Amino acid sequence: MASITQLLERNKEVKHTPFLLIDEREHDAKVDFSRTLIVTCCDPRCTPEEIFNFKSGEVIVHRNAGANVRYALRDIVILDTVMQLTEILILHHTDCGTLRHNDEELKTWVKHGNWVNRGIDEKIWPEVDKIDIGLTKDVSPEDTARDNIEWVRAQPVIRDELKKNTRGFVFDIKSGNVKEIVV
């Protein structure tokens, strides 16, 4: 695992190729930019850049714990409004930590502590109770991917064409295989 200090040191060695500024891209009809959005988990074992072998700038990646597309809705609407997305790829993975616990378990740990943290002051507990964490214990990654696809397709703020071009997949962290989940 890399610390912030280590990452900053590594950055000094990076040979950066400048990207076009937004204004430059908007005024140059020849410039094509990504209109594909991947919503995936923030688990460092599930890295779409490696899984699909793409370069920086080719695809937009939105990451959150569990690849829960509900928490990406704001960004989907913004990106689609300014860029007109063409497709959404929802990428779940095997052995996801969000499928091992439910909301109440996690909230208890936040309040009282667990093997990683010490818990928080009781005065803050009511704020913890308000958080929609979205964990689903004992559900398969295939089921969560399917649920996410169905959820996107039910959203009135998402264009019909984009709904049709929303697909879900599960990455197997052991084999490296990617399986499409058909709805």
**Residue pLDDT, tens place only, 101-139:** 888 888 888 888 877 778 888 898 899 888 888 777 778
- 46 in a known ligand binding site: no
Q: Could you tell me if 173 and 115 lie in one domain? A: no
Share of the chain above pLDDT 70, in %: 95
Please list, in sequence order, all residues whose beta carbon lies within 8 angstroms of the beta carbon of residue 181, skipping any fewer than 6 positions away.
142, 145, 146, 149, 167, 168, 169, 170
Is 42 flagged in the annotation as binding?
no
Q: What mean pLDDT, rounded, does the chain reach?
A: 90
**Is 24 contained in some domain?**
no
Both 126 and 46 in one domain: the answer is no
Residue 105 is part of which domain span?
Answer: 101-136
The answer to whether the predicted template modeling score (pTM) of the entire model surpasses 0.75 is yes
User: Are both 105 and 52 inside the same structural domain?
Assistant: no
CA–CA dist 62, 42 (Å, integer)? 9
Arithmetic mean of pLDDT, 44-67: 93
What's the pLDDT at 162?
98
Residue 129 is assigned to a ligand binding site:
no
Q: Predicted confidence band at 26 (pLDDT cuts at 50, 70, 90)?
A: low
Tell me: is residue 96 an annotated ligand-binding position.
yes
